[in-house]
Amino acid sequence: MCETKEELCCKVVIGQKFPEVEVKTTHGIIKLPDYYVEKGKWFVLFSHPADFTPVCTTEFVGFQKRYDQFRELNCELIGLSIDQVFSHIKWIEWIKDKLGVEIEFPIIADDMGKLAEKLGMISPYKGTNTVRAVFIVDDKGIIRAIIYYPQEIGRNLDEIVRAVKALQTSDKYGVATPANWPNNELIGDKVIIPPASNIKEKKQREEACKNGEIECYDWWFCYKSLE
């Protein structure tokens, strides 16, 4: 924990390699991020405040129902809370028995809170349980996105799927994605070409727009279809 509330608790940032750590999970001991990087996979690590709680249960069911979507993106899921392994096991058994949903991804038992503290998942303003943090990590072990929600608000799980897809699209095509992509109010499912960084590129963008190769609202706001 931070010594004072005024200190910055989050010790990791976007663009940094995910901390190397060995964790206890419902699937056994896992070494992060190597467990996924060695398989060439992305992963989403998400924390929840506690087992056997209503909002967390709805989230785990939601993550599991979207697990195939994540796997289609070459992305795995791994949960975390400061509960012990036996609690995780009993909870996922309850979810299967009562709700008919089998949780297939591992859950970290960070019962000492060390990883949660390292990742800034425990807020000095919000008690001793983890907040609803999300870390999207790429296949090289680099943290690409970090999202935090308070304990009282369940996550938008479709947004996390969207974020993984958008990051992979950006990497593959060297583009940016607009707000609410692929359903943006201005350009639909098209993607944004990075702004020109010099006068020569500016003129090239203007020429490409005139030739119908790309579309532009202005030279600094150009976009195109991926098709």
Sheet architecture: strand order including 42-47: 28-32, 21-25, 107-109, 75-81, 42-47, 132-137, 143-149
Q: Enumerate the CATH 3.40.30.10 domain ranges in the chain, comma separated.
A: 21-155
Known catalytic residues are 56
Residue-level pLDDT at 27:
98
Cβ(139)–Cβ(47) below 8 Å: no
In this prediction the pTM is 0.93
Residue-level pLDDT at 186:
98
Cα distance between residue 181 and residue 175, in whole Å: 12
- What share of the chain has pLDDT > 70, as a percent? 96
Q: What is the DSSP letter of 20?
A: P
Cα distance between residue 159 and residue 137, in whole Å: 15
Instruction: Report the chain's C-alpha Rg in angstroms.
Output: 20
3-state SS of 99-143 is: HCCCCCCCEEECCCCHHHHHCCCCCCCCCCCCCEEEEEECCCCEE
CA dihedral 98, 104, 105, 108 (to 10 degrees): 50
Domain boundaries 21-155, corresponding CATH code: 3.40.30.10
Segments in the chain below pLDDT 50: 1-9
Q: Enumerate the CATH 3.30.1020.10 domain ranges in the chain, comma separated.
A: 174-227
70-127, pLDDT tens digit by residue?
999 999 999 999 999 999 999 999 999 999 999 999 999 998 889 999 999 988 888 8
CATH 3.20.20.70 given to domain 174-227? no
